[in-house]
């Protein structure tokens, strides 16, 4: 399998997961032009994409879905409630010709030769999920936009060869920053986002002999720095011992990442 990020941050998110014959997007929260540029960096064309898997209906995850799905006739996979919320969004244009497929957490399904499983996450959306992907004995686990993690989330992500995990904010930066108080409380709450320390603790729980790559994503532009997130996560997950880590890096905000091959 291959994995790369096209955009990762509070202003837009889009991930790519592929095999030799299957090409998928997770979310499309940036413009069609930007998605296509990211795919091009991976050697993939928009016409190659077989599905867009949506985690939830917030604009930084869906703003490009309408144009992409219409232009390339790409089906959209998400939960029923999220599909209804997306179809009600006026900013995405006419979605009447877009094809939606309802998925359910805990019921694996296949697209091409990739097996996909969705699992519920705690976030302030109607029915948010994250996804795992398996092919050829390899597993990719992804999780962002969650205020906390529980045993079910850990169970779904365990034994991954690659993890893409949220490290949204530094608590001190958020508390001292310019956001209004209600927004700060939302981000810090159980249906908000993981801070750097919580991200590191989750990664520590998920560490295993198979884990070769960890990618930190969905960083806040205002309340985090890539170097700070990386340093804090390594300290929390591995006691600062970089030599014992898997390959770990922060996903770029606005450009495509390196394509990781498993």
Report percent pLDDT > 70 for the chain.
Answer: 98
Q: Is 154 helix (H, G, I), strand (E, B) or coil?
A: helix
Tell me the chain's radius of gyration from C-alpha atoms. 17
In this prediction, residue 89 carries a pLDDT of 86
Rounded Cα gap, residues 230 and 236, in angstroms: 10
pLDDT average, residue stretch 110-120: 98
User: How high is the mean pLDDT of the chain?
Assistant: 96
Q: Spell out where the chain has E strands.
A: 2-7, 14-18, 23-26, 51-53, 76-78, 100-102, 109-111, 114-120, 129-135, 138-143, 162-166, 213-217, 247-250, 260-261
pLDDT digits 0-9 by tens, 150-179: 999 999 999 999 999 999 999 999 999 999
| Cβ-based neighbour number of residue 45 at 10 Å | 12
In this prediction, residue 60 carries a pLDDT of 97
pLDDT average, residue stretch 120-137: 98
Rounded Cα gap, residues 228 and 169, in angstroms: 10
Report percent pLDDT > 90 for the chain.
Answer: 92
Rounded Cα gap, residues 164 and 155, in angstroms: 15
Rounded Cα gap, residues 260 and 129, in angstroms: 23
In this prediction, residue 17 carries a pLDDT of 98
In this prediction, residue 155 carries a pLDDT of 98
In this prediction, residue 90 carries a pLDDT of 82
Which of these ranges, 72-81, 92-101, 114-123, has the smallest mean pLDDT?
A: 92-101
Rounded Cα gap, residues 254 and 221, in angstroms: 11
**Residue tagged 């365990």 (tokens):** 158
pLDDT digits 0-9 by tens, 240-260: 666 567 999 999 999 999 999
């Amino acid at each position: 399998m291959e994995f790369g990020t096209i955009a990762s941050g509070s202003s837009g998110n889009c991930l790519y997961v592929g095999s030799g014959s299957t090409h998928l997007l997770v979310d499309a929260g940036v413009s069609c032009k930007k998605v296509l540029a990211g795919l091009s960096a991976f050697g993939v064309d928009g016409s190659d994409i077989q599905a867009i898997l949506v985690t939830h209906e917030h604009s930084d995850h869906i703003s490009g879905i309408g144009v992409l799905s219409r232009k390339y006739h790409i089906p959209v996979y998400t939960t029923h409630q999220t599909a209804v919320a997306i179809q009600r969004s006026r900013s995405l244009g006419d979605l009447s010709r877009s094809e939606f497929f309802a998925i359910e957490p805990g019921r694996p399904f296949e697209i091409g030769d990739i097996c996909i499983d969705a699992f519920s996450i705690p976030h302030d959306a109607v029915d948010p999920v994250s996804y795992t992907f398996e092919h050829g004995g390899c597993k990719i686990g992804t999780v962002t936009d969650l205020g906390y993690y529980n045993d079910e989330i850990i169970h779904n992500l365990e034994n991954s060869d690659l993890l893409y995990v949220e490290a949204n904010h530094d608590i001190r930066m958020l508390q001292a920053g310019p956001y209004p108080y209600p927004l700060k409380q939302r981000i810090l709450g159980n249906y908000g986002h993981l801070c750097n320390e919580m991200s590191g603790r989750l990664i520590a729980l998920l560490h295993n002999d198979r884990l070769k790559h960890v990618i930190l994503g969905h960083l806040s532009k205002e309340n985090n720095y890539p170097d700070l997130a990386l340093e804090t996560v390594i300290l929390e997950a591995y006691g600062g011992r970089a030599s014992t880590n898997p390959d770990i890096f922060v996903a770029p905000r606005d450009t495509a990442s390196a394509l990781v091959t498993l």
